[in-house]
Amino acid sequence: MTLSSPEPVHPSSDVAPVAGRFDHVRRRIAKACRIAGRDAAGVTLVAVTKTQPSEALDAALAAGQRVFGENRVQEAQGHWADRDRSGLELRLIGPLQTNKAADAVELFDVIETVDREKLVDALAAAGAKAGRTVRVLIQVNTGAEPQKAGVLPEDADALVAYARIAGLHVDGLMCIPPVEEAAGPHFALLRKIARRNGLEALSMGMSGDYELAIRLGATHVRVGSALFGERNRPVKPSMD
């Protein structure tokens, strides 16, 4: 009697289906664009790699993904500092402390979570020191949730103006709607604030609502679990 050889052991059981999930999400994005009468080239899939093992990043890269979102400066350094980053775009989508501004400017192509003047000042100083223009989004707390980061909607215009005067390049706006509310009105509010400020980029929509976000004008959808599977540990809000 012969024993069948054992299945190869994979470092993470979640890696194998990643290519298929990318394919699935890309198709759904393309379909949402068609339905909305939008050019698919106007929507960028940002793959959110927080808490993922290195093998998941390998699988995403192998699937052709080039734009990534990270929540924490330190984790992002661990993920990306030793990789060949040519042709990649890294976006910070988690809260940033002013004392990490220089590290963030060094690592990230775009910082999506600018929400206060002190952070604008720190990023402008870091950009000046590094000799480059810092690209940012202004994060808007569309639900005015006390525990959530982001500038209040009524203060957004002033912060956009402040960031521009400070020399940052403001690409657009980002929001994370309240979990317990319908996201649509929040996406619509973000678009309205962007329009009146002449801003193009709208980072909105996650695994559960990216198609709705595309319908309402998203240019960047930030998708994690739909691509990599459920995260195996809860992500606590971090202060870096």
* Among 43, 48, 101, 156, contact with ligand PLP (rule: CB under 6 A): 48
Q: Count interface residues toward ligand PLP (CB under 6 A).
A: 14
DSSP H or E run through 221: strand 220-223
Considering beta carbons, is residue 21 or 124 the nearer one to ligand PLP? 21
35 exposure class (CB count in 10 Å sphere: 0-12, 13-18, 19+)? exposed
* Among 29, 60, 136, 206, contact with ligand PLP (rule: CB under 6 A): 206
Which token pair is 227?
Answer: 């691509």
Contact 168, 124 (CB under 8 A): yes
Residue 183 binds ligand PLP, judged by CB under 6 A: no
The interface mask with ligand PLP, positions 50-79, x = CB under 6 A, is x--------------------x--------
Residue 156 binds ligand PLP, judged by CB under 6 A: no
161/139 Cα distance (integer angstroms): 14
Stretch that binds ligand PLP, among 116-124, 152-160, 161-169, 224-232 (CB under 6 A): 224-232
Residue 123 binds ligand PLP, judged by CB under 6 A: no
DSSP for residue 10: P
Which token pair is 220?
Answer: 């960047």
Residue 218 binds ligand PLP, judged by CB under 6 A: no
Residue 143 binds ligand PLP, judged by CB under 6 A: no
Please enumerate in sequence order all residues whose Cβ is within 8 A of that of 118, keeping only pairs 6 or more positions apart, or say none. Answer: 98
Distance of CA 66 to the CA centre of its chain: 13
The residues binding ligand PLP (CB under 6 A) are: 48, 50, 71, 93-94, 176, 206-208, 222-226
